[in-house]
Chains A and B, each alone.
Chain A
Amino acid sequence: MEPLRTLQGLVCPLNRTNVDTDQIIPKQFLKRIERSGFGQFLFYNWRFDDDGNPNPDFPLNQPQYKGASILVAGENFGCGSSREHAPWAIQDFGFKVIIAPSYADIFKNNTVKNGILAIQASDEQVQTIMKKAETEGYSLTINLEEQKVYDNEGFQFQFDIAPYPKEMLLNGWDEIGVTLTYEDKIEQYELTHK
């Protein structure tokens, strides 16, 4: 997993609430056995019409958001299915950071495992960013170490993140590798809980 420390990137707004993982990546694309290549299917049913043509109204199809690495969305982002294909698709498309007022629990866990930073911001902060992102070329800088988001117009805020996911993201750790250093504890537990 790639470490994530600071990032400056273009912001793409998705002004919808309760975006579920069935929208992020529809079920017909869950049949592959690989971890890569899911970006082309991201938000498929919203991005493309029935004939497979791009829907020009959808933000991800608009030229001004091409190359965006920060996705901003409404409340309860990533609700529904536990499919990790959702963060795989988001990442493969080019997003490294998500900003939303709240996330579904399983989705949020899945983002950390893939080196994606899911920032929880207030409703007001998210709406401010949505508005600013209507302007072409609007970008934000994220500093994970300092837990700070800012633009070059003086807008900024601090965000909360628990120490463990922060450390995971900053270092890009292989979590299984870390856990296996606790193998003696696991063995001990197994011996006393037969």
Chain B
Amino acid sequence: MHNPKNIIQKIWEQHVVHQEEGKPDLLYIDLHLVHEVTSPQAFEGLRLNGRKVRRPELTFATMDHNIPTRQRQVINDPISKKQVDTLQQNCEEFGITLADIHHPDNGIVHVIGPELGLTQPGKTIVCGDSHTSTHGAFGALAFGIGTSEVEHVLATQTLWQAPPKTMNVKVNGKLGTGVTAKDLILAIIGKFGVRFGTGYVIEYTGEAIRGFSMEERMTVCNMSIEGGARAGLISPDETTVEYLRGRKHVPQGEAFEEAAAHWKALATDEGATYDTVVEIDAAEVEPQVTWGTNPGMCIPVTANVPSPDETDKPSEKDEIVRALEYMGLQAGQPISDVKIDHVFIGSCTNSRLSDLRKAAEIIRGKKVNPSVTAIVVPGSFSVKLSAEKEGLDQVFKDAGFEWRDAGCSMCLGMNDDIIPSGERCASTSNRNFEGRQGKGARTHLVSPEMAAAAAIAGHFVDVRKFTAQEVG
């Protein structure tokens, strides 16, 4: 093929509005997702300058971060309530479609975008949220932006962006039984570090990625930002097309087939190159548990907590010492011995129907350990309803899990779902930063299967053995 291109280059070229020496490119934005936390100051900026929203029909809003998961209509915190009410008013004033608390389309912004078919291959998608990278699973160029950029997109439908460097993260072979997309992305970040993707957009390729469902692909792309990359994407294929077919906001009938052909043509050309290529062998990936205070601090469930002596670099040594202290762990102790107090299954990383199904399979007929408080927070209204239709809610409730309403919830605890100081949580979310789930809270990132198994055992267990024991 003449001048083969990767998908990142193709999408970029299709969206350049203007180029000039000494400036980044002016890039057109196809879809702007908005939530209540990072938008109020942007709307206020528009008002102060007498500006309008240029393309309200390309803008879609939801409320997710502050939403209570017990009684979603009742927001007790007056400041949270004001933020939610402000989004409602701003959407009315500027003519933006909003899936509010009562709306059947409501849910976590990165769950509902794909669910509604707003997320489509080849689109440029932004949101004032770093996990916007999730939408890259569809072969969209999707990245998080700050509030000033939110205002800029509202006013102009564009952003000034320097072309990113491109990286191919090639996943060779297939994952073993009991090893998940979550384990893969944690292992990638563990291997290459929390800043390997800075300045890059990643394309994930290889056999394991091709074999993934869309929901597994979303889990991988979601955590691109934890490796430093603003965006991570996967070339669209038949799996992508079949997921989107019939969804609310995609073209229907003949027009869908045309769109599908166009989407598939976006896939990276044979022979295209990248600025950087890294590889990982899928068969070597084991179920992961984070032990420290960033997502790169992860180890296989079969391993021991690392020691500061394993590095010579003073800043890294210091970081390990601080992390061990914060997490209340000893260097060298087996991670599987670590007892947990809480389990959280939810977040834009792992709260979709397939995540809940897999977790439910692990706990079916068993009981949550008496020392553990466990909750399930579906990613959207729609996920919740589908799960209830299948009876998954009953499986969780019978085991002793609390079955909650949709929202961001305990991933960052902007609502009431907070882990008390010093307590330990096995969490299917994306960040184990200090204080993320509550001041002094200790977060261990795991897959839904690993979280479910830990809930039953009361400590981390290798889900591969857990499953085998039960079956055998």
Q: Which residues of A contact B (CB under 8 A)?
A: 15-18, 20, 22-23, 26-28, 30-35, 45, 50, 74-76, 79-84, 87, 102-106, 109-110, 113-114, 162-164, 174-176, 179-180, 182-183, 185-186, 189-190, 193
Q: Does B230 contact A (CB under 8 A)?
A: yes
Query: Which of chain B's residues 389-446 have a Cβ closer than 8 Å to chain A?
Result: 412-414, 421, 431, 433-436, 439-440
Q: Which residue in chain A gives the minimum CB-CB distance to B23?
A: A164
**B 22-65 to A, binary, CB cutoff 8 A, 1 in contact else 0:** 11101010000000011011001100010100100000000001
Q: Which residue in chain A gives the minimum CB-CB distance to B43?
A: A33
A33 to B418 CA separation, bound complex (whole angstroms): 22
Q: Does B337 contact A (CB under 8 A)?
A: no
User: Chain B contact residues (Cβ within 8 angstroms of A): what range?
Assistant: 35 or more
Which one, B51, B152, B199, contacts A175 given CB within 8 A? B152
Chain B nearest CB, measured from A41 CB (Å) = 12
A110 to B130 CA separation, bound complex (whole angstroms): 12
> In the complex, are the beta carbons of A105 and B77 less than 8 A apart?
no
Chain B nearest CB, measured from A89 CB (Å) = 13
> In the complex, are the beta carbons of B440 and A50 less than 8 A apart?
yes
Q: Does B156 contact A (CB under 8 A)?
A: yes
Residues of A within 8 Å of B66, CB to CB, are 31
> In the complex, are the beta carbons of B80 and A31 less than 8 A apart?
yes
A17 to B225 CA separation, bound complex (whole angstroms): 17
Sample of 26 A–B contacts (CB below 8 Å): A16-B318, A22-B436, A31-B37, A31-B79, A33-B41, A35-B41, A45-B435, A50-B439, A74-B315, A82-B144, A83-B146, A84-B128, A84-B146, A113-B146, A113-B149, A164-B23, A174-B49, A179-B156, A180-B155, A180-B156, A182-B18, A182-B26, A185-B18, A186-B54, A189-B28, A190-B157
> In the complex, are the beta carbons of A163 and B22 less than 8 A apart?
yes
Q: Does B260 contact A (CB under 8 A)?
A: no
> In the complex, are the beta carbons of B433 and A106 less than 8 A apart?
no
> In the complex, are the beta carbons of B294 and A33 less than 8 A apart?
no
Chain A nearest CB, measured from B450 CB (Å) = 23
Q: Does B304 contact A (CB under 8 A)?
A: no
Residues of B within 8 Å of A113, CB to CB, are 146, 148-149
A98 to B52 CA separation, bound complex (whole angstroms): 34
A189 to B147 CA separation, bound complex (whole angstroms): 25
Residues of B within 8 Å of A23, CB to CB, are 433-435
Residues of B within 8 Å of A79, CB to CB, are 194-195, 228, 294
12 new A-B pairs (CB below 8 Å) besides A26-B439, A84-B147, A176-B51?
A30-B414, A50-B439, A75-B195, A76-B228, A80-B433, A81-B431, A82-B129, A164-B24, A164-B162, A176-B49, A183-B156, A186-B158
Which one, B156, B316, B433, contacts A186 given CB within 8 A? B156
> In the complex, are the beta carbons of A82 and B195 less than 8 A apart?
no
Q: Does B151 contact A (CB under 8 A)?
A: yes
Query: Which of chain B's residues 134-159 have a Cβ closer than 8 Å to chain A?
Result: 143-149, 151-152, 155-158
Residues of A within 8 Å of B198, CB to CB, are 76, 102-105
A45 to B199 CA separation, bound complex (whole angstroms): 29
Q: Does B466 contact A (CB under 8 A)?
A: no
Q: Which residue in chain A gives the minimum CB-CB distance to B227?
A: A79
> In the complex, are the beta carbons of A185 and B156 less than 8 A apart?
no
A79-B194, A106-B145, A164-B22 known; A176-B315 Cβ under 8 A:
no
Residues of A within 8 Å of B54, CB to CB, are 186
Q: Does B93 contact A (CB under 8 A)?
A: no
Q: Which residue in chain A gives the minimum CB-CB distance to B82?
A: A33
A82-B146, A104-B228 known; A45-B160 Cβ under 8 A:
no
A120 to B15 CA separation, bound complex (whole angstroms): 29
Residues of B within 8 Å of A82, CB to CB, are 38, 128-130, 144-146
Which one, B51, B77, B230, B414, contacts A106 given CB within 8 A? B230
Residues of B within 8 Å of A162, CB to CB, are 24, 162
Residues of B within 8 Å of A114, CB to CB, are 148
Residues of B within 8 Å of A26, CB to CB, are 435, 439
A65 to B146 CA separation, bound complex (whole angstroms): 29
Residues of B within 8 Å of A179, CB to CB, are 26, 152, 155-156, 158, 160
**B 220-234 to A, binary, CB cutoff 8 A, 1 in contact else 0:** 000001001010000
Q: Does B172 contact A (CB under 8 A)?
A: no
A102 to B294 CA separation, bound complex (whole angstroms): 17
> In the complex, are the beta carbons of A106 and B41 less than 8 A apart?
no
A190 to B195 CA separation, bound complex (whole angstroms): 36
**B 304-336 to A, binary, CB cutoff 8 A, 1 in contact else 0:** 000000000001101100100000000000000
Residues of A within 8 Å of B316, CB to CB, are 17
> In the complex, are the beta carbons of A17 and B41 less than 8 A apart?
no
> In the complex, are the beta carbons of A20 and B294 less than 8 A apart?
yes
Residues of B within 8 Å of A22, CB to CB, are 412, 431, 433-436
> In the complex, are the beta carbons of B156 and A176 less than 8 A apart?
yes
**B 258-289 to A, binary, CB cutoff 8 A, 1 in contact else 0:** 00000000000000000000000000000000
Chain A nearest CB, measured from B472 CB (Å) = 42
- The interface centre, meaning the residue of B14, B147, B319 with most chain A CB atoms within 10 A of its CB, is B147
Chain B nearest CB, measured from A78 CB (Å) = 11
Q: Does B354 contact A (CB under 8 A)?
A: no
Residues of A within 8 Å of B147, CB to CB, are 35, 84
A33-B44, A50-B440, A180-B155 known; A106-B194 Cβ under 8 A:
no
Q: Does B303 contact A (CB under 8 A)?
A: no
